[in-house]
Amino acid sequence: MLRVAEHFERTDTGRQRRGNEDAFYARAPLFAVADGMGGAQAGEVASHLAVEVLEQGLPDGGGSVEERLRARVREANARIMASAQADDARAGMGTTLTVAYVGEDDLTVAHVGDSRLYRLRDGAFERLTDDHSLVEELVRQGKLTPEEADEHPQRSIITRALGAEEGVEADSHTWAGRDGDVYLICSDGLTSMIPEAHVAQVLAEAPSLAGAGRMLIDAANDAGGRDNITVVLFRLEDVTAGASAPQETAEHRAVAREPEPESGAAAPAGAPATATVTAPVARKQPRPARRGAPAGRRRRRPRVPVGPILVLFLLACVILGAYYASQTVYFVGANKDGFVTVYRGLPYDLPAGVHLYSSNYESGTPVDELTPAQKKTITAHALRSKDDAQDLVRQLETGELAK
């Protein structure tokens, strides 16, 4: 039997938008993301209406979990359409909705639009939903490659949304769940900013689910944060072997060690804005405690970005190497007053006004008085030995250089 061992959810306005039109729901066994659209905050209304229907849980009665989830999605659609008809300012508002339900042995999703569900299982990261978007339909028709779709200017246009028409149907699927599965539901503000491979890497390497969620939002913002960003993460645990643990107690048994100060302006009332548990993501074996760390407490991985520092160090080595190499070569040119000059170094400037050369000898001969052939030789900036460069200028001064 499965239960939700931990979850983390957060929404962020991003760097470009003024408001946040995303909303999420995270109360086991239901997890959802809605990405609203429409002017004058109407998108925010639509996304909140969509997640609010989930507060009632699944509808009672017969039918499969998929049918009951799709019924909730239809209900959300009807509420959004009624709200839009009742208020002109809300006309045309709409939203995506991707909702996952954790059952006893499996996971069911119903979705409309382009908010995605992903699964990380045994190190393999996989998208489980197909976007209802223009570019994805073009990919299915073979008119675009997935790479072209990622860069397409119209990639945010969705072909199915709640609030757009009566009778909109959600796609639904069910998969067997497994111990250790990590699921991510996110709005396109995440996946349009950073590649899936980057998302997979963060999930696989982050020290905790909460750490992964924060790093994903930071990465989307670092990449430009052009849209609202929402991530809902949850990890499953199979409790079949041990004493049976009812699903409802999952949250209470999870110990929140790292309360988040602020999150989820778009969290529905009553929903936990964040329930944060630091536990390894998809890492079966706990890492050995570091020397000096108090027992039982995991130290955070240092936040210092090693990659960029290494790149800067290597760059500095290259520049220093180039500098020392440059000090053994000479060239001839004209100084800023127009006189023929022997320079030591390389005839290049680096950004920030750094010269790779210095004046070695200034001649009294103005470049303007040279013949075209002489001028060509002088201003070619050919690299020479010290003797060669000085000899060239001496020939010029003594009139020996070919005219």
- Beta-carbon contacts of 41 under 8 Å, excluding residues fewer than 6 positions away, are 19, 21
Rounded Cα gap, residues 110 and 73, in angstroms: 8
Beta strand spans in 252-353 (E): 330-334, 339-350
Residue 198, exposed/middle/buried by CB under 10 A (0-12, 13-18, 19+)?
A: middle
Q: How far is the CB of 40 from Mn ion (least distance, A)?
A: 17
- One DSSP character per residue, 29-44 reads TEEEEEEEE-TTTHHH
With CB under 5 A as the rule, give the number of residues binding Mn ion.
5
Q: How far is the CB of 83 from Mn ion (least distance, A)?
A: 20
Q: Between 190 and 334, whose beta carbon lies closer to Mn ion? A: 190
For residue 294, say if its preceding peptide bond is cis, omega within 30 degrees of 0: no
Q: Between 157 and 373, whose beta carbon lies closer to Mn ion? A: 157
Rounded Cα gap, residues 145 and 222, in angstroms: 26
Q: Between 187 and 326, whose beta carbon lies closer to Mn ion? A: 187
Q: How far is the CB of 12 from Mn ion (least distance, A)?
A: 12
Q: How many helices (H) and strands (E) does the chain have?
A: 11, 14
User: Residues 188 to 207: which contact Mn ion by CB under 5 A?
Assistant: 188-189
Q: Helix, strand, or coil here: 248?
A: helix
| Cβ atoms < 10 Å from Cβ of 236 | 22
Q: How far is the CB of 152 from Mn ion (least distance, A)?
A: 15
Contact segment (CB under 5 A) with Mn ion among 45-53, 187-195, 211-219, 386-394 equals 187-195
Q: Helix, strand, or coil here: 262?
A: coil
**Residue 104 corresponds to which amino acid?**
E
Q: How far is the CB of 79 from Mn ion (least distance, A)?
A: 21
Q: Between 45 and 334, whose beta carbon lies closer to Mn ion? A: 45
Q: How far is the CB of 98 from Mn ion (least distance, A)?
A: 12
8 Å CB contact between 274 and 10: yes
Instruction: Establish if 114 lies at the interface with Mn ion (CB under 5 A).
Output: no
Contact segment (CB under 5 A) with Mn ion among 222-230, 239-247, 283-291, 390-398 equals 222-230
Closest to 123 measured CA to CA, from 185, 28, 197, 220 = 197
Near Mn ion by CB under 5 A: residue from 227, 234, 250, 277: 227
Q: How far is the CB of 114 from Mn ion (least distance, A)?
A: 8
Q: Between 187 and 208, whose beta carbon lies closer to Mn ion? A: 187
Q: How far is the CB of 273 from Mn ion (least distance, A)?
A: 20
Report phi then psi at 108, rounded to 5: -115, 140
Q: Between 222 and 349, whose beta carbon lies closer to Mn ion? A: 222
Q: How far is the CB of 227 from Mn ion (least distance, A)?
A: 4
| Cβ atoms < 10 Å from Cβ of 207 | 18
Contact segment (CB under 5 A) with Mn ion among 33-41, 275-283, 346-354, 363-371 equals 33-41
8 Å CB contact between 202 and 216: yes
Q: Helix, strand, or coil here: 287?
A: coil
Near Mn ion by CB under 5 A: residue from 6, 35, 52, 181: 35
Contact segment (CB under 5 A) with Mn ion among 227-235, 250-258, 263-271, 313-321 equals 227-235
Contact segment (CB under 5 A) with Mn ion among 226-234, 280-288, 329-337, 355-363 equals 226-234
8 Å CB contact between 245 and 293: no
Q: Between 94 and 345, whose beta carbon lies closer to Mn ion? A: 94
Q: Between 219 and 282, whose beta carbon lies closer to Mn ion? A: 219
Q: Between 35 and 136, whose beta carbon lies closer to Mn ion? A: 35
Report the chain's terminal Cα–Cα distance, integer Å.
Answer: 94
- Residues found near Mn ion in the complex (CB under 5 A): 35, 187-189, 227
